[in-house]
Amino acid sequence: MPARDPLPPAPGVHLRAPDGARLAEATEVFALLSDVTRLHLLWLLAQEESDVGSLAERCAASRTAVSQHLAKLRLAGLVEARREGRHMYYSLRDGHLRRLVIEALSHADHRVSGKAPHD
């Protein structure tokens, strides 16, 4: 198999060899992404800001479950919240996390659909 040329970095990529702290932080993010509901919530928030009720409806989970998952994601610094009147709106502002979620689900689409992988 011929050697492949290295891919050019994606916009905003930090080209630094990971140390222990960065590897541990990335592992914590992956652990949070390993829950189906949390991953679905992050994908929805990668599309647009939303409130708990809308998120619960769109991911077919109870409001209580969605609130608990959002609390974990917020505590971990992966989502932000803002209050507007009596409603809380959640968003995903980190472009790295947005791309990670979208890429993970794009990869899953290839595996499920049988489409050939690509760069």
Domains of the chain, CATH where assigned = 21-113 (1.10.10.10)
Asked if 109 and 115 touch (Cβ cutoff 8 Å), the reply is yes
Give the whole-angstrom CA distance, residue 97 versus residue 33: 10
pLDDT band at 8 (very low <50, low <70, confident <90, very high): low
pTM of the shown model: 0.85
pLDDT in tens, 71-99: 999 999 999 999 999 999 999 989 999 99
pLDDT in tens, 23-76: 999 999 999 999 999 999 999 999 999 999 999 999 999 999 999 999 999 999
Could you tell me which of 96, 74, 81 has the C-alpha nearest to residue 14?
Answer: 96
Residue 4's pLDDT is 57
**Is residue 101 within a helix (H) or strand (E), and if so which, with residue range?**
helix 95-113
